[in-house]
Chains A and B, each alone.
Chain A
Amino acid sequence: MNVVSPIKPLTAKDYASDQEVRWCPGCGDYAVLKAVQKTLADIAADPARTVFVSGIGCSSRFPYYMSTYGFHTIHGRAPAVATGVKLANPDLDVWIATGDGDALSIGGNHLLHLLRRNVDVQLLLFNNEIYGLTKGQYSPTSRPGTRSPSSPGGSVERPVSPVLFALGAGARFVARSIDTAQKHLVEVLKQAHAHRGASFVEIFQNCIVYNDEVFAAFTEKQVSADAQVHVEHGKPLLFGADRRKGIRLVPSRLELETVRIGEDGVTEADILVHDRTNRTLATMLATMTLPVALGVLYCDPAESLDAAMHAAAGERPAGPTASELDALLRRGDTWTVAG
């Protein structure tokens, strides 16, 4: 009689490679790595079918630390390489690890097209608002005034918002989380994985060396309850330590405002209910600076590029036969020269 031994639950460690992780001690990337490994364990991902593709930058070292397939490519081009991987084999589960410089500066074009084409991949944008690997220059998400070796007097450029860029590019899944918010991040990653199509996740990631505490205004424990609103589909946009604060629409100005239930006649009925399929609401939430909206801001699935191309090509298990190719060569006007 066969004894079926109980299956040992997978853990984050099952998805860790044998390579020594070489980020700076205290880097937010460690937390993201842990969350991704935990996510894969929770969804029991098949390492053989899982591929991590990255570009260049601190975050792009990510694939080396995963026990799955991995391809560390070139600066900004991970979305393009990942598109080729996914189109060549749609059965693969493809993740992209990228940063603010990689995805929004040198690779901005590829990110735009990955999202509008809706290639079925998960893209994790580690946003630390700085170039870490090249020793601390300001990045396209750095705030005006950021002092860095390349902007000693403070940056005079205006930053791009990753989630607004994604929404503008036509992404069908846009979410946001924080490196150290392990439970929240794992939950967001699971939803990103479940979504068929391009899933865009911005992760606020602290660079302890070059941009430490840049997100402290909303990530520090003592302020987070009042500075973060965790959006959930179908639930009112409430936040605050006592969950008495909420987000209300001001129709006359077409903008959102923070209100307190019980004050100025505000009731729970005045609070907006999150609808993740509403792009306008997602855009308004993404624009909000305090509180910062976290979670799945937008999710409205549409056919992915790989699915559309597969459908257009039709089922074709094998390549062309020699006789099909001979027929191809002989199509159109031909003539015979007799011997």
Chain B
Amino acid sequence: MPTTTLPLPNLHPLPPRASLDSVVVRFAGDSGDGIQLAGNRFAAVTALAGNDLGTFPDFPAEIRAPVGTTYGVSAFQINFGARAIKTSGDSPDVLVALNPAALKVELPRTKPGGIVIVDTGSFTERNLRKAGYAADPLADDSLADYRIISIDVSKLTLEAAKPFGVSQHDALRCKNFWAIGLIYWMFDRDRASTVSWLKKRFTDEPIIAQANIAALNAGHAFGETAELNGDLVGYSVAAAELRPGLYRTITGGEALAWGLVVGTHLAELKLFFASYPITPASPLLHALARLRSLGVTTFQAEDEIAAICAAIGASYAGSLGVTSSSGPGLALKSEALGLAVAAELPLVVVNTQRAGPSTGMPTKTEQSDLMQALFGRHGESPVAVLAARAPTDCFETAIEAVRIATKFMIPVLVLSDGYIANAAQPWRMPSVETMAPFPVHFHTDPVGFEPYARNPETLARPWAVPGTPGMEHRIGGLEKDSLSGDISYSPANHQQMTDTRAAKLDRIARDIPEQTVEIGPESGRLAVVGWGSTYGPINRAISSLVERGCDVAHIHLRHLCPMPRNLGELLSRYDRVLVPEMNKGQLVTLLRAHYLVPAEGLNKVSGQPFKIEEIETAVLARLEQQEP
């Protein structure tokens, strides 16, 4: 039987390099300790070792929180294994805590019986006080539920770095690499790629590179030595069976950026991206700003409103306008979204959701903007809404958004979230060369041109861009005549235009794929329906339950507006529908309203993703209730 728990060596003595199917490791320390950097290196070598993996950086909102405090704790979690990995993992099997605050914050989520590696060098009276410990937890039996490995990482790092003549301050900053050196040993990872990465990263400071490499090697050597004494045990995690192909790791932010670039390429348009900095959406702006050489225009606007307005202006002028934000910023953009609906211009708006309302918890994840995306505007103003389910899925979702926006001349909202944007996954890279293009054809024939004459199939109006002779026309936010686009207050015309804008969604519904079942039966006792980043935990939970013979299926929506045309019929084939969401019940309300199905919610708004076991427990409870 596969297990995700590291066995307790003191209870079940294991030979070195016991084989594990999958494991969750969490690195935690002060936000200045380089936790994210070290975590990403471990993820890179783990990918190279052939494991499937999922990562989740969990960092504080404060850029430099006071050192040693609990709110300054930065963590990086990785779940890797020989099987398909769907999430960044529930509870860590191994916790690395580089200071008392990290232990204080992270221990409660660590699996009982798990391995906890602590840097005793940082357990000073002052640091213990800052972390809120009345007494040293290493000195009493309060940690008896865990396998504590106490190492003076600080001192050993200083010793390792000393020969290179770095300052004490710089030497101590190498302790993240000492710690991952030990973890490399523990899971039999190769150091060579990290060594060359360090050399490249610190090209201008070779001494710093040397000190970090020495720390990495020292941590690794410590593992080997300790193993001889029987204190530490090494494990092996075999390579996963991944589809053959060329892989890289990618975060949701990168995948979204590249999807937008590839999508506009397939539409044969130029990409104009306007955005205002906001957590956790800014990585998209950063990623696209680096692609200027590929003809991408990025514009950092003065505010959220200007960002969407500039994007609308760019679409009007014949580029694909794209803007991006998080919930509060989307609220500011909503008036302009109404203009884009009225003007019937293509536009893509990305919302990387975060915990709200108001400033909420900017670095924590949530799915609470679904209703805002669908309905958060004045007037009857329908837009298409898509949601990405995982970091790699952002690529395809972005391309689909561009396709719908340009084919139907409609704004498309893409929902991502803080978890997807920052989490990383291995990605089997597609070949852009072989992707089917969907080129946009601007309207250039002045004969009989009417700005609001429609394509009978899609109801899209012609896209005639300034600069085209003979096509001069005026558009705007005032209601327009259904053909000429001239201002019209005619009651019948407003009815017709409102109906037509809504009917575009029906045409999109005809165009998008029918909803399929991810896993489980096509009818039965229980369907678990999700959207967005809950994909991972739902899919892993339902996979194991189906393997155990439970009558449950997983259905996951990418298209939230319009929803797939067969969804109502599909849901009606199940006795019950359970909808896990990181909000107070938004999709579940929509499903009940649209399809009159007895759907119930499973809701979590803690700023943390669902755990697999939370879904499993909820599903089992429903299945048991149904037992005769």
Contacts and interface: CB of A to CB of B under 8 A. Distances in A.
B466 A83 contact: no
B246 A330 contact: yes
A264 interface: no
A314 B294 CA distance: 10
Interface in B269-308: 269-272, 274, 291-295, 297, 299, 301-303, 305-307
A79 B312 CA distance: 12
Nearest to A116: B302
Most buried by B among A51, A91, A332, A333: A333
A81 interface: yes
B475 A71 contact: yes
A73 B309 contact: yes
B18 interface: no
B318 A322 contact: no
A69 B339 CA distance: 17
A339 to B, nearest CB: 4
A315 to B, nearest CB: 10
A48 B466 contact: yes
A87 to B, nearest CB: 6
A121 to B, nearest CB: 11
B474 interface: yes
Given A87-B272, A320-B294, A325 B261 contact: yes
Contact of A322 (B271, B301, B433): B433
Contact of A84 (B269, B293, B309, B467): B309
Given A64-B474, A71-B474, A322-B433, A110 B302 contact: yes
A44 to B, nearest CB: 15
A134 interface: no
A309 B242 CA distance: 43
Interface stretch (B43-51, B69-77, B594-602): B43-51
B258 A329 contact: yes
Interface in B512-549: none
A68 interface: yes
Nearest to A51: B466
A87 B310 contact: yes
A67 interface: yes
Interface in A220-256: none
Interface in A28-81: 47-49, 51, 53-54, 56, 63-64, 66-74, 77, 79-81
B339 A74 contact: yes
A17 B161 CA distance: 77
A334 B476 contact: no
B466 A85 contact: yes
B244 interface: yes
Given A71-B475, A77-B306, A333 B48 contact: yes
A116 to B, nearest CB: 9
Interface string A175-193: 0000000000000000000
Interface in A313-339: 313-314, 316, 318-320, 322-326, 328-330, 332-339
Nearest to B339: A74
Contacts of B428: 337
B374 to A, nearest CB: 21
A320 B313 CA distance: 22
A7 interface: no
Given A84-B299, A320-B294, A69 B473 contact: yes
A147 interface: no
Interface residues of A, number: 62
A84 B291 contact: no
B247 A323 contact: no
A84 B247 contact: no
B335 A48 contact: no
Interface string B394-427: 0000000000000000000000000000000000
Interface footprint category on B: 35 or more
Interface string B315-351: 1111101000000000000011011000100000000
B13 to A, nearest CB: 35
Contacts of B306: 77, 79-80, 83, 109-110, 113
A19 interface: yes
Contact of A326 (B264, B316, B432, B465): B432
Nearest to A314: B293
Contacts of A330: 246, 248, 429
Interface SS majority for chain B: mixed
Contacts of A328: 258, 261, 291, 294
A18 B293 CA distance: 43
A1 interface: no
Contacts of A84: 272, 274, 299, 309-317, 321
Given A87-B310, A113-B306, A72 B247 contact: no
A269 interface: no
A319 B272 contact: no
B380 interface: no
Contacts of B108: none
Contact of B476 (A63, A91, A112, A337): A63
Contacts of B317: 51, 84-86, 88-89, 92
B368 interface: no
Given A313-B297, A319-B265, A319-B270, A72 B248 contact: no
B2 interface: no
B471 A48 contact: yes
Nearest to A22: B487
A4 interface: no
B467 A48 contact: yes
B117 interface: no
A67 B474 CA distance: 8
A319 B295 contact: yes
B617 interface: no
Nearest to A316: B295
B472 interface: yes
A48 B468 contact: yes
Given A110-B302, A330-B429, A92 B467 contact: yes
A312 interface: yes
B302 A113 contact: yes
A330 B432 CA distance: 11
Contacts of B430: 329
B431 interface: yes
A316 B306 CA distance: 26
A77 B309 contact: yes
A220 B121 CA distance: 85
A330 B48 CA distance: 15
Contacts of B319: 88-89
B193 interface: yes
A82 interface: yes
B463 to A, nearest CB: 13
Given A84-B274, A85-B466, 13 more contacts: A69-B473, A80-B313, A83-B306, A83-B313, A92-B466, A109-B306, A313-B292, A320-B294, A329-B430, A329-B432, A336-B244, A336-B247, A338-B244
19 contacts: A47-B472, A48-B472, A63-B476, A71-B316, A72-B476, A73-B312, A74-B336, A81-B312, A82-B313, A84-B311, A86-B317, A88-B321, A112-B302, A313-B292, A313-B293, A319-B268, A322-B435, A334-B247, A337-B244
Interface of B: 44, 47-48, 50, 193, 242-249, 258, 261-262, 264-265, 268-272, 274, 291-295, 297, 299, 301-303, 305-307, 309-319, 321, 335-336, 338-339, 343, 428-433, 435, 465-478, 486-487
